[in-house]
Structure 1
Amino acid sequence: MKSTWWIPVNVCALTLVSSLVSGEEARWVTVHPVEIEDILANPGMGWETFHRTAANDRNLPEWIPSTVHYLRWGWGELEPAPGRLNVELLDKVLAETRSAGQKLAFRVMCCSTTRGRPYHPRWLRDVGGRVITTRYGDIQGLEVPDLDDPVTLNAHLNFIRRLGAKYDGHPDLDHVDLGSVGWWGEWHMSNSEPARMPLPENQRKIIDTYLESFRKTPLLMLIDGPEMLHYATSRGTGWRADCLGDMGGFSRNWCHMRNAYPDTLSKAQAIDVWETAPVAWETCWDIRKWVEEGWSLRYIFNYALALHGSYFNNKSAPLPPGDEVREEVTRFLRRLGYRLVIRELRHPTMVRAGENLSVTMVWQNVGSAPCYRPYRVAFRLTGPSGKTFIHVGEKTVREILPGEVEVFTQSFMQNPPDLPPGKPVTFEEIVPIERTLEPGEYSLAVGVVDGADSQKPVVQLAIAGKDADGWYPLSRVLIASP
């Protein structure tokens, strides 16, 4: 015997199906939540503001949420005197970032291309460190630290260690770029003479020191240079590329999108790094340049999604006007990072206090990347008197992966396809029902929380029905007396 009916739960229309199971008296409910199209503000992904918080970014449209505030600092700004971190600056920015509802990401730089404004500390020579005078293209008289000099290298390594000792795992810190080396910390010294990149063994020492100093906060390696990109990513870092969208702005015969990125990622064996660590994109110039040049936004954004980006930084520049631009940016941000949908939830209509409630769920990631954090699926039962009971399950949403396309093939380079949704993932969870729970009908809500001891959801799902506390009441279950 089967019956089907429709009932409303909050704002979400749900299909509930009940049936007798194996001749027992239990009836089962199947719920199909409604998927939504909103751009979601979730931790560890999305639109980054640049050198200003979301609260102070006048170019951030109201329809774009941002959970990450991204900054770059010179070494000298963060260590104004030997051995002294500028904690006043760092703590102030962290507090401002938290107040804006964001987390901070940053990079340390050593080599500046602005004459008279070096990134290294002014005290470096005083402690015996070596500074080189070099050029960047036509810009002469640039001073940069020599990271092959033992005194200079040790001073910088000790700085990284102090930075990690103070801020690794800070609750307001999202990630840290593995920078320091090369112009702007990008791991290249292009158009420079006589300064060169540090020796490979010293580059590895810098990478190792970051890895030792930041064991909790994710690290993202800059993409220039396949040898060191492989060295860093094979040891657990993600990667960051700072020239998304370059379709020929530097040369008619070479560009980052069709030449540099395919070549570097392939040689570094870093194409599949996204499976374990995040990918961040920053625009070459900004989106206005892309539109002025007539470069396809769909091509660029599909490319970024196919490489499984989690973050996007437009340097807090204004967006170009026009409905087409907004449509393409919206389409992109709906897919960027993880985007979790509950396709189905199934459970018995009744359970006795003191027994277990069996819940089966089908999840799907329709975004471009995994959620790299060990967030867990949790359940909240709310009884007739308003009393709640929360159970945090064993399953983490890290297991829910996005779809894939083969990248850097001839057809991909001609026209990157839409990234398909990930394969549906079925979770089986057991919710123990306390024997002391009062009998009655309970609301069953689902949330994604940060760890076994957390009771507040931290992830927005791409389904309707979220309540004021971040939970998704999806069904009802009758709890009977023991």
Structure 2
Amino acid sequence: MKAFYTLVILITGFLQLSAQNNALNEFHKSFTLDSVSHLRNPAMGWVLYEEGASFLEEHKNYDPEIFWEEMDEVDAANYANILYIRVLWKVMEPEEGKYAWEFNKEYQEYIRKAEERGLKLAFRIFFDNGTPDWVYQAGAKSTLEQPLNLDNDKQPYYDDPVFLEKLQNFIKALAEEYDDPSRVDFVDAYGLGRWGEGHGVTLKDQDNYKNVIEKVTNAYARYFKNILTVYNLSRNDWHYSKPLVFDKLGFLPRRDGIGSHWFDDTERAYLKELFPDKALIGEGTYWFGARDKDTTAHTKEPFLKDPRFPNMKYWTDALSVALDDALSSHSNTFDLRTPFESKVWIEKLPEKVQKFTTYGGYRLYPDSIVVKQDNRKLIIDHFWKNFGVGVLPNNHPNWNNKYKVAFALLDPKTQKVAHTFIDPIANPGKWLKGPLYSYTNFKHEIPKSIEAGKYDLVVSIIDNTTGKVGIKLSVKESQLIKNWGFIKKYSID
């Protein structure tokens, strides 16, 4: 008799478990990778360059209007995500407290056209032959003291207290205008030395080197709280920048020498120490302007004697080598650069342009999703991949892991979000090319405040500071609704 009751209990438990499993309707959804489309996601992709010449009076044959005319001839903005503005301090603040973004109509129009074309901005303010005269008139010393308007190889002493005081005031003003991630991707948070790359930093006292790096980078970190801050990776100051800038402040590395021997084995080893914790903002070494009309000519250019890449004979070789080097270095960005160089890339090397579009930076997508549903109760297993060589810099202090994997219910008629819920475990900033990232048994119950009815269950990566989709998924457009990946029709009783 006892055995009979035991059998009844076992059968009853089995039937209850079967009923529970039946109640949890299971649905499998697979997504199709889109490896071709141009994705306009933050801190990645092709970059157009303003080299600073447009705003200098001595370069009137090359101005902002010509820049956009020539870029538009090859639709360069349709391939790029960012306009990188390398510009001298004296252009941005020719008089103390008088800023280009407030009074310079040429500059304002230049920026307007970039934003009109859907480009984010990025900045490097540098001082090599470009510190405003009023800074020197206030008492700052330079490598060429008099006359003040003599700009022949003139650099400030970066440890001069007047220079540092005026620079920090400018950084504060720059942040007040541009610390906006809806407009700006990143700022080079240093800019000292030759071309702003940290080479040949002129100091009155070499013992002040560490202090200068701290003061300038700390000023950028103090005033820029929302956009990414980056710093040039260099063997010259690595012993300072590693602990003070990359570790303490969390800045991203930027390297301007990709595709050449200037980016040497030592610096490549430094980069390996930083990646994948920190995304690389990359730039090629060898570039040209409209003067180099024949890119197939065997010209006497510096890349001909590059000891690291000895087989470069033509400009197209140099560009191709640099792109492959950028990909092997896990770079998030690379440069179409100036108008004529962009034209060469797009017209003569279209397969290389597509290669970086496909693999450069990050390309995130859900591989598959399994949903178990019992009315308002959900259990979700979701699986993700990154098809790109780079990484989403989600852990930068100013982003603070704001990009989250989120599911939502959309009203199928209005396509508006009725309810959003985030998986707190999944972090897209940790996804690298290759592995499948699995998140299982994520449970969520739709609150009773959500009315019964029919919805579209969807998934995406949202910016948690805005609640909106922040990263466009790399899946076929037919599988998206308002940049949300469609999973299934969802009914609530």
Shorter-chain TM-score range: 0.7 to 0.9
- Equivalent of 2:196, from 185, 192, 195? 185
Partner of 1:211: 221
The answer to whether residue 373 in structure 2 is matched with residue 380 in structure 1 is: no
TM-score in terms of structure 1 length: 0.75
Alpha carbons of structure 1 residues 202 and 297: separation in structure 2 relative to 1, 3 Å: closer
Partner of 1:360: 381
Following superposition, the deviation at residue 305 of structure 1 comes to: 2.5
Extract unaligned runs of 5+ from structure 2.
Answer: 1-17, 51-63, 289-294, 296-302, 304-311, 395-401
Following superposition, the deviation at residue 61 of structure 1 comes to: 4.8
- Equivalent of 1:244, from 233, 253, 258? 258
Q: Which has the higher strand share?
A: 1
Following superposition, the deviation at residue 299 of structure 1 comes to: 5.5
The answer to whether residue 262 in structure 2 is matched with residue 256 in structure 1 is: yes
Partner of 1:172: 183
- Equivalent of 2:351, from 320, 327, 345? 327
Following superposition, the deviation at residue 73 of structure 1 comes to: 1.4
Q: Distance in 2 between matches of 1:387 and 1:101?
A: 24
Partner of 2:360: 336
Extract unaligned runs of 5+ from structure 1.
Answer: 1-19, 113-118, 247-254, 404-419
The answer to whether residue 421 in structure 2 is matched with residue 421 in structure 1 is: no
* Equivalent position amino acid for 1:443 in 2: D
* Equivalent position amino acid for 1:41 in 2: R
Q: Which has the higher helix share?
A: 2
Structural RMSD (CA) = 3.7
Q: Is contact 1:282–1:315 with CA below 8 Å preserved after alignment? A: no
Partner of 2:117: 100
> Where do 1:30-429 residues align within 5 Å?
30-39=28-37, 40-51=39-50, 57-58=71-72, 60-61=74-75, 65-88=79-102, 89=104, 94-112=111-129, 119-133=130-144, 141-169=152-180, 171-189=182-200, 199-224=209-234, 225=236, 226-230=238-242, 231-234=244-247, 235-246=249-260, 255-257=261-263, 259=264, 262-266=265-269, 269-286=270-287, 292=314, 295=317, 300-316=322-338, 317-320=341-344, 325-348=349-372, 350-352=373-375, 355-373=376-394, 374-382=402-410, 388=416, 389-395=418-424, 398-403=427-432, 420-426=433-439, 428-429=441-442
* Equivalent position amino acid for 2:419 in 1: I
* Equivalent position amino acid for 2:285 in 1: C
Following superposition, the deviation at residue 343 of structure 1 comes to: 0.9
Q: Distance in 2 between matches of 1:297 and 1:71?
A: 21
Q: Is contact 1:94–1:103 with CA below 8 Å preserved after alignment? A: no
Structure 1 vs Structure 2: percent identity of aligned residues? Answer: 20
* Equivalent position amino acid for 1:459 in 2: I
Following superposition, the deviation at residue 194 of structure 1 comes to: 11
Q: Is contact 2:74–2:346 with CA below 8 Å preserved after alignment? A: no
Partner of 1:4: none
* Equivalent position amino acid for 2:337 in 1: K
* Equivalent position amino acid for 1:444 in 2: L
Alpha carbons of structure 1 residues 165 and 366: separation in structure 2 relative to 1, 3 Å: same
Q: Distance in 2 between matches of 1:466 and 1:54?
A: 35
* Equivalent position amino acid for 2:45 in 1: G
Residues 76-135 of structure 1 show CA distances to partners (whole Å, capped at 9, x for unaligned) of 1222222443331576655443322121101011013xxxxxx1102123212212239x
Q: Distance in 1 between matches of 2:484 and 2:69?
A: 26
Following superposition, the deviation at residue 243 of structure 1 comes to: 2.2
> Where do 1:442-453 residues align within 5 Å?
442-451=455-464, 453=466
Q: Distance in 1 between matches of 2:472 and 2:69?
A: 21
Q: Distance in 2 between matches of 1:291 and 1:30?
A: 53
Partner of 2:309: none
Q: Distance in 2 between matches of 1:304 and 1:21?
A: 55
Following superposition, the deviation at residue 376 of structure 1 comes to: 2.1
Range with bigger deviation, 437-446 or 38-47:
437-446
Q: Distance in 2 between matches of 1:57 and 1:475?
A: 42
Q: Distance in 2 between matches of 1:68 and 1:427?
A: 36
Residues 142-186 of structure 1 show CA distances to partners (whole Å, capped at 9, x for unaligned) of 222222332223222332233334433453121101233111111
Residues 456-477 of structure 1 show CA distances to partners (whole Å, capped at 9, x for unaligned) of 4232212122546222223223
Q: Distance in 2 between matches of 1:330 and 1:436?
A: 47
Alpha carbons of structure 1 residues 306 and 422: separation in structure 2 relative to 1, 3 Å: farther
TM-score in terms of structure 2 length: 0.73
Q: Is contact 1:233–1:270 with CA below 8 Å preserved after alignment? A: no
* Equivalent position amino acid for 2:229 in 1: L
Alpha carbons of structure 1 residues 65 and 359: separation in structure 2 relative to 1, 3 Å: farther
Aligned residues: 418
Alpha carbons of structure 1 residues 67 and 429: separation in structure 2 relative to 1, 3 Å: farther
